Structure 1
Amino acid sequence: MAQDSDHNYRENLAASLTKIEEIFGVQLKYEPKLVEGKSLDYAYWRIRQGNLEVSLTAVLAPFDLTFFKEDASHYTIKPFQYHKKSRSAAEEQLDFLASTYHNLEEWENRKALLKACIMEALALEALPAAPNNAPIVNERKIFEGYSVENIALEVLPGIFTTGSIYRPFPLGENLPIVIMPNGHFGQGRYRESQQIRSATLARMGAVVVGYDLFAWGESLLQFDSEDHHLAAAHSLQTWNGIQWIDYLTALPETDPQRVGITGGSGGGSQTMLLSAIDDRITVSVPTVMLSSHFSGGCPCESGKPIHLCGGGTNNAEIAAMTAPRPLLIISDGGDWTHSVPELELPYIRRIYGFYDQEDLLINSHFSQEGHDYGFSKRQAMYPFMAKHLGLNPQSLLNQLGQVAEDNITILSEQDLQVFGADGSLLPAHAVQGREALFELLEGN
C-alpha cells in the first residue's frame, strides 16, 4: 500500500474493492468509470473483517456509491440512489420496524406519528385553500352500461386537476366511488387499459374517476413536462387525490362510506399514500408498486421526505397504515414487487393481525408477469373491489368466471380532454409555469 507524506494510508478505490474481493471471496461488478480517479484516506483500514456489507459501505459511501446483493457471492456497485436500497437493507429495516411495536396500541401510536409527519412533510395544510368555483364539466357521453364525462376541478387558485368520470348507466343511487390516480404508463388516463378498468368498474356499479398526473395530460397546458419532476408534484398530486374524493363524495348519487382506490406504478404510490392519510378510503389496491426496497424514482413519489418520517419508513409500512381496511397488493416477478410474497406481505400481515383482520389482506402475485396493469391484474382487482364495495359483477361474468371487458368504447385523447384539443377552454386566470406556481405556494 502506498502512503502519502501525512501517513494517511491513501489508496485508490479500485484497489480497495479488489482487496475486499480477496478478503471476502466475492465478485464485485461495476462500471470502471465509477471508480476511475477516486481514492480515499485510510482505505484498507475501513475494511472490517467478517462484515462484508459494513466494509463496502465504509469504502463506497464517501463517493456516493452503494451496492446491491445479487446472490451470496456477487454484488453490483452503482451510484447511490435515495429511493433504492438493497433487499438485505430492506429486510434489516423491516425487522427493526417490527421490533418497535408488539401490539395494537404500540402500532396505533406509530401510525399516528407517521401520519402527522407525512402531512407535515407534504405541507398539505400550508397550501392555499381550494377555490369554491364550480367544476368545468363537458357533455356526458353514453355507452353500453356506462357514461363518461370530462371534468376539471380548480384545486388551488388557478391550478386545475383534470379527469374523466365514469358512471353506471342508468345511474342509480347510493353508489360506491373508485378513484384512480395515474402512474407513469404512456398516455396516462387516456391509456386503453385505464379506460377499460374505469368503464368495467362503472358497469359493476361504481362512480369512477381517472385523473392526470401533475404536468402530464392536460396539466401540460399549465406546466412543462419537466415540472413533473419538481418535489412540489408530490404534494400537488396528493392534494389532487383528496380533492377528487371531496368532490365525488358530495355527489347526490354516491355513498361517501364506500370509497375505493387503485393505481399502478406511480399510481400505486399515490394509492398507498392516500390510503395512509385519508381515512375516507375504505378499500385499497396498490398495483405493481409496493416494495420495502424501492420508494419510487420520481419526485412525484418521493420528492418530499415522507420516507424519513418516524426515524425512517418505507412503502411497506406506509401501506400497512391502511389496516384494518381491506388491502389487495398486486405484485409481479418482473419488477421491484417481486419480493412481496416473502418479504413485505408477512410484515404487513403481522400488523393486520393486531386487529385480528388478516383475512382483509390479500396478495395477488404474478411471478411470470411484468410491470403493468394488464388483464390478469385487473381480474384480481375486480372481485376484490366488488366484495368490499358492494359492486355487482355477476352480469359481466363470462364462461370462465372472469369479468368480461367486452363492448367498451375506447375514446381518443381529444374525446377525453376537458379543455379541448387546442386548450382553448382553459380559463384565462389559469396559472402558467413553475415560477407562478412557486409564487402561489410561497405567498400563502
Structure 2
Amino acid sequence: MRQTRITPHLPLWRSFILVFALAIPFVGLDTNASAQPATAATVDAPKLKTLNDHFPFAVPETVDQWRGRADELRCRVQVATGLWPTPERTTISPVIHGRIERDGFIAERVYFESLPGHFVTGMLFRPSADNKAGLVDGKRPAVLCPHGHGGRTQRLSDQALEQMLKTGAEKYEESGRYPKIARCAHLARLGCVTFMFDMLGYADSQQIDYKTAHRHADPRAEEAADQTPCFYSMDADLKLQSIMGLQVWNAIRCLDFLADLPDVDRNRIGVTGSSGGGTQTILLGAMNQDVLGGVVKVSFPNGMVSTSMQGGCYCENCNYLRVDTGNVELAALVSPNPQGMTAANDWTKDMLTDGFPELKKLYTMLGYPERVMCGDVLHFPHNYNYVTRSMMYPVISKHLGLPTPAEEGNYEPITEAEMQVWTKEHPQPTETGPQHEQQVLSWWTQQNTAQLSKVLPLAEGDAAARRQRMRQYDDVVGKAWRVIFDRSLPAADDMELEIVAPFEPDVGEPVERWQIKHKGWSTQTDVDVFNRSKGQPKQIVLAVGKNLDACLADVTATDSTLLDQAVIAQLSIALDMKSQPLIDDSRTYSGFTFTYNRTETARRCNHVLTAIGQLKAVYPKAKVCLVADQAAAPAAIAAASLASRAVDQLIVRTDGVRLGNVKHYSDVNFVPGAVKYFDLPGLLALRAPAATTVLGETQEKLQITVDAYGSVGAEKALTIKK
C-alpha cells in the first residue's frame, strides 16, 4: 500500500461532521459551520467490454496458481451456463434408426431426450465392420462433433463449392459439398464412432426455432413478466437459464450417449467443432470433468480460440461467462489433456503470436509442451475445410490410440432425405415454440429447487448435522455468489492511498477525503474519513447510502457505543442511477453486456470491499461496522457476506428490497442468478455467525438466514426488526 498526503482539491465535507454532531457532542467542532458536501467521486463509469474486444491470457507463474485459477473458472462456467449444481441426468432413451452404408463407414439417425420432452437429434457414424483400427477389447474411440453455425446438413452452393475446389479449400466435389458430414465420415473411416448433433434451430432440432435461438432481435410478448417464463425473460435471467446453457446441457448428454454405446471406449473420447461448434468444444473442455465423467481426452476447438471476437451469437453468450477471462483461457481448462486449433484469416488471425504462445507456455509449465498445437491456415477465411480437417485428424488419432491417419477421401454423398431424423415411423415432437420453452424452463427450475434443497440450512436437528449442512451450503451457494460478485477483500499491497487533508480554521476536527486506487482493478474509490479517536481507534463505522442521517440513526439505535472512539467514514458512491450501463447493441439480450461486464451491484460491492480493505490496512486493530440504507443494501450485503471475517458487524436497512423484483436487465439492481441462489436472504445466510442487524424485515421473510444462524449456534448474533 502506497500512502501520500496531497493538497486538498475538494471542498471540506462539513455536513458529514454536522450529522454526527446532532447525536453526539464533538469537542472542538463548530456546529454552526455551513458548507455543501463534497461531490461523490466514486462514479467511475467503466468502459464496457464487448465480444469484439481484446481478451489476453495471462499465464500464472506456478502450477499451483494455475490449478487454483482453473478451479475458479470451471465453477464460473457451470454457474454461467445455469448448471451449478448439475441437474439430474434423466434417462435419455436413445433411438437409432435408418442405417445408411457407404464405402468405409455406416451412418444412422439418432434422437434422444436430453431432458424430459426435449429432443436432441443428429447422425451417428461408425467404421465399417471390417475396419479394426483402434479396436481394443471390442471397443472403439469416439468423437463428438458439434457442427457450428451452418448446421449439420449444410450444403455448399455450386458457386461456393467451385471456389473452394479452386483454392484447395476442398478436394472432392461430392464429399466437399457437405463439409460437416465429410468430417464425420472420415473420422469413422479412421476408426472412430462419431456423433454430430443438431444445435438448437438447425436441421431436425426445431422445438426451439432458429430465429429464437440465434437471431432474437426483438422481445416477444411471451417474455413479459406476467407470462409463464420462457427464454430471454427476466425470470430466466434471474435463474441463469439461457439458450447457451441448454446447448451445453445437450452437448453433455451427447457425451453420455456416446460413452454408453456398447462399442465405445469411454476412456477414449474426443470433441471437435468449429465456429459455434468450436465454442461448444471449448466449454465441454472447460467444464469440471466430474460433470462429464472425465471423458474428454482430446479437444480440437476450431475457429473460436481467439483473443479477439469471442462469439457473436446468442447461443455463445451467457451472463458471467467471460468476466475477466476469454476463450483462450477457457480453452486452456482442458489442459493437461491435448488440444489443437488453427489460425485463419478471421478473428483468430493473431493466435500464432497472441494466444497460442501463452497456451504453449502453460502446457510447458505443466510438463506437456507437445500436447498443444495451432495450425496456420491464414490463407483461408473462417472455415473447417479440407486443409483444416487434415490438421485435426492427426491430433485426434494420436491421442485416441489410432494409427497415423490416411488422407481424407471421397465418398458417395448422403442424401438430404437420408439425413432427416424425423420420418413417418419416427414423427417429430409436436410441442414447440414458447410452450416448449416454458416446459424446459419449468423442468430446469424444478431441478434447481431439488438440487439446492439438499444444501439448505436445517431449521432443526442434530447440531453436527446442521453445521455440516452449512458447510455444504457455503460450498454450493457460497461459490455461486462468489462467481456473481467475483472479488474478495483487497490486500494492502493491492491499493494506493492518497489523502486530501482540509485545514479550514473554522473546523476543529478535519475530515479527510481518501482516494483509493486499486492497481489490479483500475478503479478509484473515494471515502470521507473522520477520526474521533485520540490514537488507534477501536471501531470503524463505514456508512454507505443515500441518507447518512438515517444510517447513523440506525447505528445508534442498534448500539449507542459504536461511535465512541471510532473512525467514521462514508463511501462516496453514486446511488441515484436509474439504470445501469449497457453496451451499444440493439439486440435485446442481457448476455451481450453481462457475459463480459460486472453488474452495477457488483461494481458497488467492489468499492465497499476496497473501502473496508483500506480502512483495515490503516487501522488494523479496529473492528469494522458496515451500515447501509436500502439503496446500498444489495452491495453492502454482498460485501459483508463474502468478506464476513473482515466485517465484524453489519447493520443494513432493506425495507424488503429484493434483487428479484427487477423488470428489465437495465435495472440498476439487476443481478443474473439472484433468484436461483435465494436472493438477499441467501446472501445474508453466508454471514453466519457474524453479527448482523437487518431492519425493515420479518423473520418469516428471512427464514433461510435465521436457519443459517441457528445452524452454527449464533442465533443471538442475528437481529431482525420490522
Query: Which interval holds the TM-score relative to the shorter structure?
Result: 0.7 to 0.9
What's the secondary structure of 2:50's corresponding residue? coil
Answering whether residue 328 of structure 2 is matched by residue 306 of structure 1, we say no
Are the aligned partners of 1:182 and 1:210 in contact in 2 as well (CA < 8 Å)? yes
Q: CA deviation at 1:441?
A: 3.0
Name which one, 1 or 2, has greater alpha-carbon Rg.
Answer: 2
Number of corresponding residues: 345
Deviation, 1:141, is: 1.5
Percent identity, please. Answer: 29
Change (3 A) 1:131 1:323: closer
Counterpart position of 2:332: 320
Inter-partner Cα distance in structure 2 for 1:438 and 1:251: 29
Change (3 A) 1:190 1:393: farther
* Secondary structure, counterpart of 1:213 in structure 2: coil
The amino acid across from 1:135 in the alignment is P
Equivalent residue for 1:164? 123
* Distance in structure 2 (CA, Å) of the matches to 1:161 and 1:130: 14
Q: 1:430 offset after TM fit, Å?
A: 7.2
Q: Per residue, is there more helix in 1 or in 2?
A: 1
Length-normalised TM-score, structure 1: 0.72
CA–CA distance in structure 1, aligned partners of residues 86 and 337 of structure 2: 28
For residues 25-36 of structure 1, the aligned pairs below 5 Å read none
Q: Which structure 1 residue ranges, 4+ long, deviate > 4 Å from structure 2?
A: 125-128, 427-432
The match for 2:213 among 223, 228, 239 is 228
**Alpha-carbon contact 1:159-1:430 (below 8 Å) kept:** no
Are residues 105 and 189 of structure 1, via their aligned partners in 2, closer, same or farther at CA, if it must alter by over 3 Å?
A: farther
Q: Relative contact order (C-alpha < 8 Å, sep 6+): which is higher?
A: 2
Residue by residue over 1:137-157, the C-alpha shift from the partner in whole angstroms, topping out at 9 and shown as x without a partner, is 213222211100110110011
The reply to whether residue 83 of structure 1 matches residue 44 of structure 2 is: no
1:117 is matched with: 76
- String of CA shifts for 1:40-71, please: whole Å, max 9, x gaps: xxxxxxxxxxxxxxxxxx9xx79xxx8xxxxx
The corresponding residue for 2:301 is 286
CA contact (8 A) 1:178 1:261 kept: yes
Counterpart of 1:83, as a letter, is L
Deviation at 1:415?
Answer: 1.1
Equivalent in 109, 121, 140 of residue 175 of structure 1: 140
Deviations 1:156-214 (A, max 9, x none): 110011110000010753200100012112x4345511111101110110000111111
Equivalent pair of 1:257/1:280 in contact (CA under 8 Å): yes
Question: Contact 2:77 / 2:286 at 8 angstroms: preserved in 1?
Answer: no
Candidates 260, 273, 278, aligned match of 2:270: 260
- 1:136·1:418 contact (CA, 8 Å) conserved in 2? no
- TM-score between both structures, scaled by the size of structure 2: 0.45
- CA deviation map 1:260-285 (0-9, x unaligned): 11111111111111011144211111
Amino acid at match of 1:239: W
- CA shift, 1:134, in A, is 1.9
> For 1:190 and 1:138, how far apart are their aligned partners in 2?
21
Q: Report how far residue 439 of structure 1 moved.
A: 3.4
**DSSP-derived class of the 2:428 partner:** coil
Question: Quick one: which amino acid aligns to residue 201 of structure 2?
Answer: A
Query: Distance in 2 between the 1:439 and 1:323 partners?
Result: 35
Residue 147 of structure 2 contacts residue 199 of structure 2 at CA under 8 Å; is this kept in 1?
yes
**Contact persistence 2:76–2:320 (CA under 8 A):** no
**Partners of 2:86 and 2:118 in 1: CA distance:** 12
2:311 corresponds, among 278, 296, 300, to 296
Per the alignment, residue 428 of structure 2 pairs with: 426
Q: Write the mapping of 1:137-152 to structure 2, written as runs, cut at 5 A.
A: 137-152=96-111
Aligned-partner Cα distance in 2 for 1:159–1:125 = 20
Determine which of 169, 186, 194 is the counterpart of 2:180. Answer: 194
SS in 1 for 2:398: helix
Asked whether the equivalents of residues 127 and 441 of structure 1 are also in contact (C-alpha less than 8 Å), the reply is no
Gaps of 5+ in 2: 1-43, 133-137, 156-177, 215-230, 233-241, 448-722
Q: Residue type of the partner of 2:146?
A: P
Alpha-carbon distance in 1 for matches of 2:361, 2:430: 52
Give the deviation of 1:133 after TM superposition: 4.6
1:212 matched residue in structure 2: 198
Quick one: structure 1 residues 228 and 428, their matched pair in 2 at CA, closer, same or farther if it must change by over 3 Å? closer
Superposed displacement of residue 136, structure 1: 2.0
Shift of 1:250: 1.3
Gaps of 5+ in 1: 1-57, 67-79, 398-402
Name the CA shift for 1:290/1:213 in 2 (closer, same or farther; >3 Å).
Answer: same
CA deviations on 1:60-84 (whole Å, 9 max, x unpaired) are x79xxx8xxxxxxxxxxxxx77211
2:353 maps to 1:342? yes
| Cα 1:168–1:290 shift into 2, 3 Å | same
Q: Is the 8 A contact 1:190 1:412 kept in 2?
A: no
2:377 equivalent in structure 1: 366
- Most deviating of 287-296 and 106-115: 287-296
User: Taking structure 1 as reference, are residues 226 and 404 closer, same or farther at Cα in structure 2, changes over 3 Å only?
Assistant: closer
- Alpha-carbon distance, 1:320 to partner: 0.9
For residue 288 of structure 1, what is the amino acid of its counterpart?
Answer: G
Write the distance in 2 (CA, Å) between the matches of 1:351 and 1:190.
36
SS in 2 for 1:371: coil
Superposed CA offset, 1:302-331 (max 9, x none): 1342112xxx11001001111111111112
Cα pair 2:336 2:363 within 8 Å, conserved: yes
